[in-house]
Amino acid sequence: MPQTNRETPDRISDAEHAVMEVLWDRAPLSAADVCKAVCDQRDWSLATVKTLLSRLVTKQAVATEPDGRRFLYRPAIERTDYVGGESRRLVDRLFGGRAAPLFAQLADSEALTERDLDEIETLLKELRK
C-alpha cells in the first residue's frame, strides 16, 4: 500500500510521471504490462520502461514485489501526495510561495473557464468555514 505524507527524495521526470500514472491507475503491474499501456503512444521500448521503473525504484517512488520470474511494480507514494508536493514547489518557485499570483496569472492569460472559477469559488467558501 502506498505511503502517505511523504515526498519523493528526487524529482520525477515527465517520462517517469507517465509510468507513475499507469501504476496509480492499475497497480500492481509487470514492466511488460506498463509497456502495453504506454509504449505505443510514446514510441518507447520495453527497455525504456524498465529503465524508468528502475529509476523510480531508486527514487523510492515505486516498490517491487517478486512474482515468479518477474517483478510487479506498485506506487510507493500516493498520487495526492505527489500532486500536492509538485503544486507547492510550483507556487514556491514561480510565485514566491503565494497562490494568489498564480490565480492572477491564470486569469490574465484567460486560462480559467467559468467552470474553473465556480470550482475555485466553492473551494474558497469551504476553506473559510
Set of cell numbers at residue 63: 516498490
Kindly state the helix (H) or strand (E) to which residue 90 belongs, with its residue range: helix 79-95
The CATH architecture to which 1-98 belongs is: Orthogonal Bundle (1.10)
pLDDT tens, residue by residue, 44-56: 999 999 999 999 9
Contact 52, 19 (CB under 8 A): yes
- Distance in angstroms (rounded) separating the CA atoms of residues 58 and 67: 20
- Which tops the pLDDT comparison, 80 or 7? 80
Cut 0.85: pTM above it: no
3-state SS, 12-49, equals CCHHHHHHHHHHHHHCCECHHHHHHHHHHHHCCCHHHH
Domain boundaries along the sequence of the chain: 1-98
pLDDT band of 32, cuts 50, 70, 90: very high
pLDDT band of 107, cuts 50, 70, 90: confident
